[in-house]
């Protein structure tokens, strides 16, 4: 073929990457791997191994050990024994180790890239140019956090032993995301890689040994889901970090409920890819290629829902089909291919099942007529049109190279369709109008938004989702906070259970004739009778009846949540406006200072001085959060790209707050203050023993310009109401400060919509102490970070 003909056809030839280095490494280990525990290769006590298969050829690569419960226990013990010394060597020494790991990864980049492609099936061009450089970047970045830890996280300490479970779609990159911040902060790790793709984790273990990392800091245990379950339920693990399916995430949440384990979950997604009619369509087409056919669509944040403005829909689809005809599928080690193999035959079947459902429900499928390998686990790029927003393939994560297309007319409709999902991981917005893009991005309910780009990642920029895509962030400053705990928690003791004053049973409570003398519920800015028609007696510290409050129930919670949902004026108000209202609250509470102190004295039995001190501390706390309202601000990151990443601190939405019995006014204000300051709407369950302190606040709210629905109060049996809040799908977060058993019930019930929880597990907190009772810890729980990636330049 002549040069002129080559230029005319622009056909790519094959560009195979040599597999020799990876084959030699496997051969050196005799294609069989044990567990990596306490710095040494350790034979599994299960005496079982399973096969690792190359998905592109269906050929065996190696045998890998299966860890049983005793193996997991041994790994956790090794991590526990190593943790104190690892913490004690200090941030600078840990930084040097992380730097050494980063350099070692770069030196072994070719081996790791080829091994990842053989084991996972993804194109070597992706592992070489994206995955491995990002792995090294995470260790470099977190070496810096280790160096700065004493300055930047002076009131925090490592959590201890962290159990980590990673998926098969980005095996080594997910390992780096989890291990780098954990060990930088002084934790030790037990990591379980995915059953399908364990090889690069085992290679990394060898790199750790060669780089001189102390024994026991990183332990790699391999196996199936049962191995992961042993790690999740191990009593000596302080945190579980999981990336995987929402279904498994639910099981982990239930398994860890009440254990006191910190939990971060990065789960499934059904991310929208929104194209407006002023977008550069050719660029958007390439964006779609990167969004859904990168790693064969096996990406949790894949842009699997293509939302097109009606005016350009037909043109965009025509361009996309032309581009799909030129996609090349084949050997992952061929650097000229676009798509490699699906990870395993079972995943191919899962994709095929959902595609059949899409056809059955009336969607139209199109696949290009391109060459497909005749062996291995491959699936062609697939485009669905005529898809309804409620269709199964528009709602369920397919986790394969399948994109579904829908249309919209206006930006508001685009946002509605985009948010019409139970997930909330990522989104991509395409428009040449930056004002439009930055107007839409904050309205999308997800953790990451890419403007005129997609699948951008960096160690400095947190990544994570909302709703059923999980909670917690990995990367950057917020990612470090997920592997640290406040120092004061180490000395917190379990609460002594204080007996409630003897109360009258509900079935013998006052009748409707006495409701007029009962403190009512506060819903939507109005005092409201409880749905039950009953009231509960309130006793003084000496056991004398001093009043009655409404006996709230499930329907009252429902009404309060509906009022909060409508109370968007509070969330839309600017931060200065919210600060003003909090100052008004403090001013009006101060005007009734003596009255509230007397109420506290009667209810709790505290002295006059202590009661006045509690009111004064509450006033100070309101001033603090009025001050924070316009100062807990978003940040701008500068990742290695021509652009910036805006880390927006957003309100979570509707938060259920269950207050402690101790310090009934100060505890209430300490929790409600930060939630309100950040623009959330709240349903508050006051102290069950001392609810009149909360109901006395009605007039303070009414005279302080608190918008209807922003602050709702339901009195009654605290744990019953807490459970209802935790089960409610329109409640985005629940804060519970009560018993250990109550904390466990809230965490278990939260799995319905995978809502965030903040529970105290029955531990004491000194509400008078500013370190424990106010500040950034509270503000962090009252916000979620959305990272908006904004490229610039021509």
Direct distance between the N- and C-terminal alpha carbons of the chain, in angstroms, rounded to an integer: 37
Q: Are 564 and 682 in contact (CB under 8 A)?
A: yes
What's the mean pLDDT in 748-770?
Answer: 94
Is-catalytic flag, 203? no
Give me 793's structure tokens: 């330049």
Q: How far apart are CA 292 and CA 272, in angstroms?
A: 11
Q: Give pLDDT tens digits for 454-475.
A: 999 999 999 999 999 999 999 9
Q: Residues near 336 by Cβ (< 8 Å), separated by ≥ 6?
A: 12, 13, 14, 15, 328
Q: Are 118 and 22 in contact (CB under 8 A)?
A: yes
Q: Are 434 and 452 in contact (CB under 8 A)?
A: no
In a 13 Å sphere around the CA of 781, the CA atoms on its Cβ side amount to 23
Give me the pLDDT at residue 506, please: 37
Strands 364-366 and 382-385, bridge-based pairing: antiparallel
Cα 771 to Cα 157, 206, 368, 479: the distances in Å are 14, 42, 61, 21
pLDDT greater than 50 at residue 513? no
- Exposure string (b/e) for 171-186, b if CB count within 10 Å is 16 or more? bbbbbbbbbbbbbbbb
Q: Give pLDDT tens digits for 178-212.
A: 999 999 999 999 999 999 999 999 999 999 999 99
Structure-derived torsion over alpha carbons of residues 435, 437, 443, 448, reported in degrees to the nearest 10: -130
Q: Residues near 88 by Cβ (< 8 Å), separated by ≥ 6?
A: none
Q: How far apart are CA 508 and CA 534, in angstroms?
A: 9
Q: What is the DSSP string of 266-280?
A: E-----EEEE-TTS-
In a 13 Å sphere around the CA of 119, the CA atoms on its Cβ side amount to 33
Q: Which residue out of 203, 208, 300, 461 is catalytically annotated?
A: 300
pLDDT greater than 70 at residue 491? no
Q: How far apart are CA 597 and CA 610, in angstroms?
A: 8
Give just the sign of the alpha carbon dihedral 420, 421, 423, 428.
negative
Strands 35-37 and 654-658, bridge-based pairing: unpaired
Give me the pLDDT at residue 2, please: 75
Q: How far apart are CA 80 and CA 61, in angstroms?
A: 33
pLDDT greater than 70 at residue 6? no
Structure-derived torsion over alpha carbons of residues 170, 175, 176, 177, reported in degrees to the nearest 10: 80
Give me the pLDDT at residue 622, please: 97
Q: Are 718 and 658 in contact (CB under 8 A)?
A: yes
Q: Which residue out of 266, 614, 774, 777 is catalytically annotated?
A: 266
HEC string of 138-188? HHHHHHHHHHHHHHHCCCEEECCEEEEECCCCCHHHHHHHHHHHHHHCCCE
Q: How far apart are CA 127 and CA 133, in angstroms?
A: 9
What's the mean pLDDT in 408-423?
Answer: 97
Q: Are 289 and 316 in contact (CB under 8 A)?
A: no
Give me the pLDDT at residue 49, please: 96
H helices within 391-460, ranges in order?
392-395, 411-418, 434-440
Q: pLDDT band at 518, cuts 50/70/90?
A: confident
In a 13 Å sphere around the CA of 60, the CA atoms on its Cβ side amount to 10
What's the mean pLDDT in 585-593?
Answer: 95
Q: pLDDT band at 636, cuts 50/70/90?
A: very high
Residue of higher predicted confidence among 792 and 433: 433
pLDDT greater than 80 at residue 375? yes
Residue of higher predicted confidence among 384 and 543: 384
Is-catalytic flag, 300? yes
Q: How far apart are CA 265 and CA 255, in angstroms?
A: 13
Q: Are 362 and 386 in contact (CB under 8 A)?
A: yes
Q: pLDDT band at 11, cuts 50/70/90?
A: low
- Exposure string (b/e) for 444-473, b if CB count within 10 Å is 16 or more? bbbbbbbbbbbbbbbbbbbbbbbbbbbbbb
Residue 619 CB: number of other CB atoms within 10 A?
20
Residue of higher predicted confidence among 26 and 3: 26
Q: Give pLDDT tens digits for 255-307.
A: 999 999 999 999 999 999 999 999 999 999 999 999 999 999 999 999 999 99
HEC string of 492-506? CCECCCCCCCCCCCH
What's the mean pLDDT in 405-432?
Answer: 97
Q: Are 480 and 155 in contact (CB under 8 A)?
A: no
Q: How far apart are CA 54 and CA 71, in angstroms?
A: 27
Strand partners, 538: 547
pLDDT greater than 60 at residue 533? yes
Q: Give pLDDT tens digits for 335-346.
A: 999 999 999 999
pLDDT greater than 50 at residue 659? yes
Strand partners, 726: none
Question: Is 505 exposed, middle or buried (CB count within 10 Å of its CB: 0-12, 13-18, 19+)?
Answer: exposed
Give me 83's structure tokens: 């943790």
In a 13 Å sphere around the CA of 37, the CA atoms on its Cβ side amount to 21
Q: What angle do CA 529, 530, 533 make, to 5 degrees?
A: 95
What's the mean pLDDT in 543-569?
Answer: 95
Give me the pLDDT at residue 12, please: 66
Q: Are 142 and 180 in contact (CB under 8 A)?
A: yes
Mutual angle of helices 171-184 and 199-210, in 10-degree steps: 40
Give me 715's structure tokens: 């009195």
Give me the pLDDT at residue 699, please: 85
257: helix, strand or coil? coil
Q: Are 552 and 721 in contact (CB under 8 A)?
A: yes
Q: How far apart are CA 651 and CA 632, in angstroms?
A: 12
Q: Give pLDDT tens digits for 718-746.
A: 999 999 999 999 999 999 999 999 999 99
Q: How far apart are CA 786 and CA 792, in angstroms?
A: 19
pLDDT over 70, % of the chain:
95
What's the mean pLDDT in 347-362?
Answer: 97
Q: pLDDT band at 118, cuts 50/70/90?
A: very high
Q: Residues near 26 by Cβ (< 8 Å), separated by ≥ 6?
A: 61, 62, 199
Dihedrals phi, psi of 669, to nearest 5 degrees: -65, -35
């Amino acid at each position: 073929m002549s040069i002129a003909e080559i230029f005319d056809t622009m056909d790519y030839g094959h560009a195979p990457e040599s597999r020799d280095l990876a084959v030699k490494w496997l051969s050196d280990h005799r294609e069989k791997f044990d567990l990596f525990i306490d710095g040494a290769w350790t034979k599994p006590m299960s005496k079982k191994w399973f096969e690792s298969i190359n998905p592109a050829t269906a050929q065996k690569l190696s045998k890998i050990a299966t860890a049983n419960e005793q193996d997991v226990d041994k790994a956790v013990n090794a991590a526990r024994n190593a943790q104190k010394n690892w913490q004690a060597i200090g941030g600078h020494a840990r930084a040097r180790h992380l730097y050494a790991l980063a350099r070692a990864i770069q030196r072994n980049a070719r081996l790791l890239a080829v091994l990842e492609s053989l084991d996972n099936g993804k194109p070597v061009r992706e592992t070489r140019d994206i995955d491995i450089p990002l792995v090294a970047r995470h260790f470099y970045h977190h070496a810096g956090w280790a160096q700065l830890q004493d300055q930047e996280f002076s009131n925090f300490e490592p959590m201890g032993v962290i159990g980590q479970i990673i998926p098969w779609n980005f095996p080594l990159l997910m390992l780096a995301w989890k291990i780098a911040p954990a060990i930088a902060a002084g934790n030790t790790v037990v990591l379980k890689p995915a059953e399908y793709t364990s090889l690069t984790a085992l290679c990394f273990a060898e790199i750790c040994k060669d780089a001189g990392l102390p024994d026991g800091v990183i332990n790699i245990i391999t196996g199936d889901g049962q191995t992961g379950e042993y790690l999740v339920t191990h009593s000596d693990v302080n945190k579980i970090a999981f990336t995987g399916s929402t279904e498994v995430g639910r099981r982990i949440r239930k398994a860890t409920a009440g254990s006191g384990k910190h939990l971060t979950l990065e789960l499934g997604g059904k991310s929208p890819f929104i194209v407006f009619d002023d977008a550069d369509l050719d660029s958007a087409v390439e964006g779609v290629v990167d969004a859904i056919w990168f790693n064969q669509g096996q990406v949790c944040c894949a842009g699997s829902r293509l939302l097109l403005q009606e005016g350009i829909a037909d043109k965009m689809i025509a361009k996309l089909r032309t581009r799909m005809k030129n996609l090349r599928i084949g050997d992952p080690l061929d650097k000229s291919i676009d798509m490699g193999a699906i990870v395993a035959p079972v995943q191919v079947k899962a994709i095929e099942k959902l595609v059949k459902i899409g056809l059955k429900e009336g969607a139209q499928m199109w696949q290009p007529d391109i060459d497909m390998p005749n062996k291995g686990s491959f699936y062609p790029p697939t485009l669905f049109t005529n898809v309804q927003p409620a269709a199964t393939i528009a709602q369920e994560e397919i986790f394969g190279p399948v994109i579904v297309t829908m249309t919209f007319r206006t930006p508001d409709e685009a946002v509605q369709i985009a948010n019409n999902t139970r997930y909330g991981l990522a989104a991509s917005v395409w428009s040449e109008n930056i004002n439009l893009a930055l107007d839409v991005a904050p309205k999308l309910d997800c953790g990451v938004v890419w403007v005129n780009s997609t699948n951008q990642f960096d160690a400095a920029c947190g990544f994570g989702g909302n709703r059923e895509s999980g909670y917690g962030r990995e990367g950057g400053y917020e990612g470090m906070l997920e592997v640290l705990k406040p120092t004061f928690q180490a000395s917190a003791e379990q609460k002594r259970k204080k007996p409630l004053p003897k109360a009258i049973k509900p079935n013998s409570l006052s009748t409707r004739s006495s409701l007029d003398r009962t403190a009512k519920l506060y819903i939507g800015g109005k005092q409201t009778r409880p749905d039950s028609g009953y009231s509960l007696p309130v006793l003084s510290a000496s056991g004398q009846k001093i009043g009655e409050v409404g006996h709230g129930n499930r329907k009252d919670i429902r009404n309060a949540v509906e009022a909060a949902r409508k109370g968007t004026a509070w969330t839309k108000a600017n931060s200065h406006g919210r600060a003003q209202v909090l100052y008004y609250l403090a001013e009006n509470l101060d005007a009734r200072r003596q009255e509230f102190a007397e109420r506290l004295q009667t209810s709790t039995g505290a002295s006059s001085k202590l009661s006045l001190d509690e009111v004064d501390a509450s006033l100070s706390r309101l001033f603090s959060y009025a001050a924070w309202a316009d100062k807990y601000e978003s940040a701008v990151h500068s990742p290695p790209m021509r652009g910036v990443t805006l880390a927006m601190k957003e309100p979570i939405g509707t938060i259920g707050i269950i207050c402690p019995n101790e310090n009934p006014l100060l505890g209430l204000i300490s929790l409600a203050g930060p939630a309100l300051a950040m623009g959330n709407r709240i349903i508050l369950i006051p102290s069950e023993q001392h609810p009149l302190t909360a109901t006395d606040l009605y007039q303070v709210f009414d005279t302080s310009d608190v918008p209807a629905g922003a602050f709702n109060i339901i009195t009654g049996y605290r744990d019953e109401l807490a459970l209802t809040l935790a089960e409610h799908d329109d409640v985005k977060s629940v804060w519970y400060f009560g018993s250990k058993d109550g904390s466990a019930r809230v965490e278990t019930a939260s799995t319905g919509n995978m809502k965030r929880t903040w529970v105290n597990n029955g531990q004491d907190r000194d509400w008078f102490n500013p370190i424990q009772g106010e500040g950034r810890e509270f503000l962090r729980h009252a916000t979620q970070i959305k990272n908006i990636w904004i490229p610039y330049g021509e």
